[in-house]
Structure 1
Amino acid sequence: MFETNNLRIRAVHNTDIIKLHDLWNDLRVQKTLSPLHVIPLGIKFEDTLRSWISESLLYCIVETKAESEWVGFVNFFNADKKNRDATLAIGLCPEFWGRGYATEVLSFIVDYAFRELALHRITLNTFRSNVAAIKVYRKVGFVREGVQRKANWMEGRWQDVIWMAILKEEWEAKQTST
């Protein structure tokens, strides 16, 4: 179990599956996490979640330290061992948006990935409409690498997918400048 100033980052427990399922079924969250159709996700989705958890390089639950409130998840998946690259995903319950928790979790998890998991690169993608997430990613040190133009159909219009990454040397430079 890891701790930051305000948060606990811990392993997934069986009881978290229902909470993860509920998080993915929140329309506001689902629209930020997946390029698939926004639909109600039934009981079979719990098997998908278990598969994602078991196949991830790291899959953690985020909760508050003070009240042990369930905040969301952070994970590394699609790990490329040869090139020491993994894809980062984060999903927080909307009631915790705007509190600085995403920045706190991501700052810790990026640091952990470079120091302890020996990653060379962390990749992510997000939708152009997710302005708050892009701001957080930049704050943590991610650099925009490219745009898939009009790659996702959402709410009756096309939106761009933004690809971002942070390299170990960029992270190291940021460590020495702070």
Structure 2
Amino acid sequence: MFETDRLQLRAIREADFEKVLALWNDPRVQKMMSRDFVVPSGGDEQFRAGLLSALLFVIIETKDSHEFVGVTFLRLFDLQKKNRDAMLGLAFLPEFWGKGYATEVVRFIVDYAFEQLALHRVSLAVYGNNTAAIRVYNKVGFVQEVVQRKANWIDGKWQDVIWMAVLDEDWEASRKDDLKIVS
């Protein structure tokens, strides 16, 4: 189990699948996670297998009350294993949006990716209308690399898909800068 200031990140358990499915089936969450149609899922074996195939898939809970907050994961793609590039995914229940939890989790996962997993890049895709998430990613050190203009249809409008990444060397330099400020 991993811990941040206010959260714990732990392995998924059998009892968690229902919570993860409910999170996915919340239309507010699903439309920010998928480029497909927003439709309910029944949580079949393919759904479970997708969760478990990640390099890292953890449940996020509050430290004090062990309340389910959401999930985060890193997923390596077969063609990218040699390049040590993982996609970051993150989903919170809407009642936990805007409380600073995302920054806490993303910071931890990026540190873990470079310190423990020896990754070279952590990549992600975010929709242009998700300004809160973009602020979090920028704060943690992600840099915008590509914009796919009007590539995703959400709520009756086209949204850009923004691809961002943080590299190990940029992360390392930012940590050295942080140490200089503290010294």
The normalised TM-score by structure 1 is 0.96
Which residue pairs with 1:71 in the alignment?
69
- Give the whole-Å Cα distance in 1 for the aligned partners of 2:150 and 2:130: 14
- Give the whole-Å Cα distance in 1 for the aligned partners of 2:13 and 2:31: 25
- Give the whole-Å Cα distance in 1 for the aligned partners of 2:155 and 2:45: 27
- More displaced stretch, 147-156 vs 125-134: 147-156
- CA displacement at 1:170 relative to structure 2: 0.7
Which residue pairs with 1:53 in the alignment?
51
- Give the whole-Å Cα distance in 2 for the aligned partners of 1:88 and 1:46: 23
2:64 is matched by which residue type in structure 1?
A: A
- Give the whole-Å Cα distance in 1 for the aligned partners of 2:75 and 2:145: 19
- More displaced stretch, 8-17 vs 51-60: 51-60
- CA displacement at 1:38 relative to structure 2: 1.0
Which residue pairs with 2:181 in the alignment?
none
Alignment of 1:108-123 (within 5 A): 108-123=108-123
Query: Is the Cα contact below 8 Å between 1:17 and 1:46 reproduced in 2?
Result: no
Query: Is the Cα contact below 8 Å between 1:120 and 1:168 reproduced in 2?
Result: yes
Specify which structure has the higher proportion of helix: 2
CA offsets 1:73-118 (integer angstroms, 9 cap, x no match): 0001134220010100000111111111000011011000000000
- Give the whole-Å Cα distance in 2 for the aligned partners of 1:139 and 1:52: 29
- Give the whole-Å Cα distance in 2 for the aligned partners of 1:19 and 1:46: 14
Q: Which sections of structure 2, spanning at least 5 residues, go unmatched?
A: 179-183
- CA displacement at 1:176 relative to structure 2: 1.1
CA offsets 1:137-164 (integer angstroms, 9 cap, x no match): 0011100001011111122221110000
- Give the whole-Å Cα distance in 2 for the aligned partners of 1:46 and 1:115: 34
Alignment of 1:156-171 (within 5 A): 156-171=156-171
Query: Aligned-residue CA RMSD in angstroms?
Result: 1.0
Which residue pairs with 2:12 in the alignment?
12
> Number of residues paired by the alignment?
176
SS in 1 for 2:9: strand
Query: Is the Cα contact below 8 Å between 1:17 and 1:49 reproduced in 2?
Result: no
- Give the whole-Å Cα distance in 1 for the aligned partners of 2:68 and 2:35: 25
Which residue pairs with 1:29 in the alignment?
29
Aligned counterpart in structure 1 of residue 60 of structure 2, from 54, 62, 66: 62
The normalised TM-score by structure 2 is 0.93
SS in 1 for 2:14: coil
CA offsets 1:46-65 (integer angstroms, 9 cap, x no match): 42331112211110010000
- More displaced stretch, 112-121 vs 154-163: 154-163
